Structure 1
């Protein structure tokens, strides 16, 4: 749950408090600071905690701020001086806290973390909308059933840092995006960012599901890529023992990820005995669908048909398949995350590992990292290492990781030094490495490994650990 701080006083406070209570979905916890008892509702929801004191008191406000990690603050007060004083006190302790204020006095603050709602302008706009020949709000357009919706992308959403082309849009569609004060043209390669506002159209019931999914920070993966998991197994290139090991791992993944279904596509079956073993392993699991190809239809046809038919959000493959040219050619075209099964399979992943390389791609995959960690119940280790002295400043990215960890309520350990990151990776055990999926990974490389310094490429070539490869837009 997200913790929200609300500070209220003045003529609109009671109405605003009632509106917040009426809109309560129990998905948030609220700390409410007030001075006038008239503001407090008769029925206090269990997820609201009320504090009566003067919010301009720095020491008293600090008590509430230090008690919990708030993701946002909403402030409506009776005077400009009180408002500025409270903002100053909050910024002194929580400089990156997102704050929304109701302003009737013309407050001018240049701060990316403060949203100012001009009270007089809001009232004027509401009255103007009632005049003839004036554009109205979306709820009065079309069938007037809510088929057009405006949704803000919150920090930590699984939809943040996703490019639009990778988002499954079934019975709904993104048709507009506002970033700051500017309308952005929609294209598949456009990346959604926190605080973007998207305009969507579709069935009202579907849009409510999309709204809820975008607003949640945990337990969404493999969304927004798709809903279900897909395991493609070529039995001909695997040993019997290897098949038995990966089946156990796939069973574990199916239990941990909050997908609806797991589709197992078996091609080039070898023995009846091993087929029976696979069927027996999932016989009591209604969420698993096993499909067997006895005619060896090529991978492209299977993927084309199954991806669309089953709404696939993540494809699971053995690392042996990446060494087969015809498979590698098809794998690189996938637009969904790929779980590459390594040689070390324990049936229980203890930690997730990230070796930070370029800022752009790792910012894109950051929400997935912590969503996956929350579902696997693992601690995340982030290696920020620079053994060759490139001196790229990753401070902003590392702060971004720490903020996301707080939102997902996850433990994160950031290790920064000039050691060799691959050497550190090899020391890990029971780990899942998460890294961006890049075209360069599939290009032929020299056999002399010492010629390469890119940790993404070196990691990708390793066979020991399982890896989760997340598609990104490469600049």
Structure 2
């Protein structure tokens, strides 16, 4: 059990004394020196001993110092001269005693055993942190450099409606979450929601980057899944014309998205001429890294290895790759977005489309819809179609999309009818469909397509247009 010396007087003494008593765990013994009875707590714990005298008296202070071996002293007084006098008296008898002092006067002391807490700075920081869009950092914990931060998830953030397990946390980590003033247990499947308050720990410089990313409402994708785009090209299953078209689309996506790098992984190369065409297409582009696989290692191992080496935020593949559902099932486990390149590749996308199915998963992907649309500079269409006429009321979800469109300053068109959504989808041109990534998409289907009524599964099997699949937590 440690012995702590506390010397208090002045305007903060009563509040400080109450805080110490409230934090008491009975693991310490306290010697409290005071001059005014007003600071005394109503309840005096048994591990507190109180002494009433002037702490500037060297002889009286020596009596307390010599009585026990104190491991630390805490001093808060009302006068600069009193503070310096008390420290001088302590140092005369216990030169290596660790002292924490509250300073309002700009005291400068070069002593490794003295920690000075600047009262004016603490007050200023506390007031500033109450302002909007100002990061709140723990001032006196750990290295005292701001490695613990409090961040509020704003409405429209790219981190809203993301489950924690899908957020890349490199050199930082979410360790606590408050929702509706209640502490929520952290787990990978927990979904962040607007107005959630998260506590994060990590390098101060990294935390500031995270704070800025969470606070922004657009231009972040593929964050928070990762920074880089990853294009997996199996040349053996593509003809020459298809590869040429796909490379044009990759150049377009690399230009439009706010990624750091585009990693192109080529496997099973066919001809030297096609390889040269690919390399020449990206010649002089430092943002593109081309990696070769001459040994047919396989999609599963290549993806796992490359995911470990690179901060990948989105995987891009042609729709031909999804014929082998056993091989591509690994993609679901990566928990990052998948961009499936359709047969119609125009080198530019004119509109993004969402066909609403279930409320839960489409609420989760909603921020990504508008983030992607803002980067691709497209208009967004929401199809709310119910040909059967028995779906749940989606009014709240549609209002949610409309509010997000205003935040992202995006054009939104909502089409509500009883028409067949897939038939309407097939009429679209230069389109990117955004939909949730679900486990059932990678299962084998019956050859009788009319048995399926889930528009997500039917749309996933279409080949005409490109699709962006966003990971979600399925209920």
So what's the TM-score if we normalise by structure 2?
A: 0.71
> Hey, what's the Cα distance between the residues in 2 that align with 1:229 and 1:352?
19
* Cα deviation code 1:107-129 (max 9, x no counterpart): xxxxxxxxxxxxxxxx9xx89xx
> Hey, what's the Cα distance between the residues in 1 that align with 2:216 and 2:260?
17
| Residue equivalent to 2:163 | 163
| Residue equivalent to 1:275 | 275
Distance apart, 1:138 and its partner CA: 2.4
| Residue equivalent to 1:303 | 303
The aligned runs of 1:326-345 (5 Å cut-off) are 326-345=326-345
| Residue equivalent to 1:286 | 286
| Residue equivalent to 1:43 | none
Gaps of 5+ in 1: 1-122, 128-135
SS of the aligned residue for 2:334 comes to coil
> Hey, what's the Cα distance between the residues in 1 that align with 2:272 and 2:293?
13
Whether the 8 Å contact between 2:137 and 2:149 is mirrored in structure 1 is no
* Cα deviation code 1:268-323 (max 9, x no counterpart): 00000000000010002110000011111122221112112110000000001100
- Shift of the 459–325 alpha-carbon distance from structure 1 to 2, 3 Å rule, reads closer
The aligned runs of 1:58-457 (5 Å cut-off) are 138-457=138-457
SS of the aligned residue for 2:349 comes to coil
SS of the aligned residue for 1:217 comes to coil
> Hey, what's the Cα distance between the residues in 1 that align with 2:445 and 2:391?
26
> Hey, what's the Cα distance between the residues in 1 that align with 2:172 and 2:153?
16
| Residue equivalent to 1:49 | none
Distance apart, 1:450 and its partner CA: 1.5
> Hey, what's the Cα distance between the residues in 2 that align with 1:446 and 1:137?
55
SS of the aligned residue for 1:339 comes to strand
SS of the aligned residue for 1:382 comes to strand
- Shift of the 412–159 alpha-carbon distance from structure 1 to 2, 3 Å rule, reads same
| Residue equivalent to 2:48 | none
> Hey, what's the Cα distance between the residues in 2 that align with 1:348 and 1:396?
32
> Hey, what's the Cα distance between the residues in 2 that align with 1:187 and 1:367?
21
> Hey, what's the Cα distance between the residues in 2 that align with 1:325 and 1:400?
34
SS of the aligned residue for 1:140 comes to coil
Distance apart, 1:137 and its partner CA: 7.8
* Cα deviation code 1:31-70 (max 9, x no counterpart): xxxxxxxxxxxxxxxxxxxxxxxxxxxxxxxxxxxxxxxx
User: What is the CA RMSD across the aligned residues, in angstroms?
Assistant: 1.5
Distance apart, 1:326 and its partner CA: 4.1
Distance apart, 1:333 and its partner CA: 2.1
> Hey, what's the Cα distance between the residues in 2 that align with 1:372 and 1:318?
19
Gaps of 5+ in 2: 1-122, 128-135
> Hey, what's the Cα distance between the residues in 1 that align with 2:140 and 2:325?
55
> Hey, what's the Cα distance between the residues in 2 that align with 1:412 and 1:258?
22
Distance apart, 1:456 and its partner CA: 0.3
How many residue pairs get aligned? The number is 343
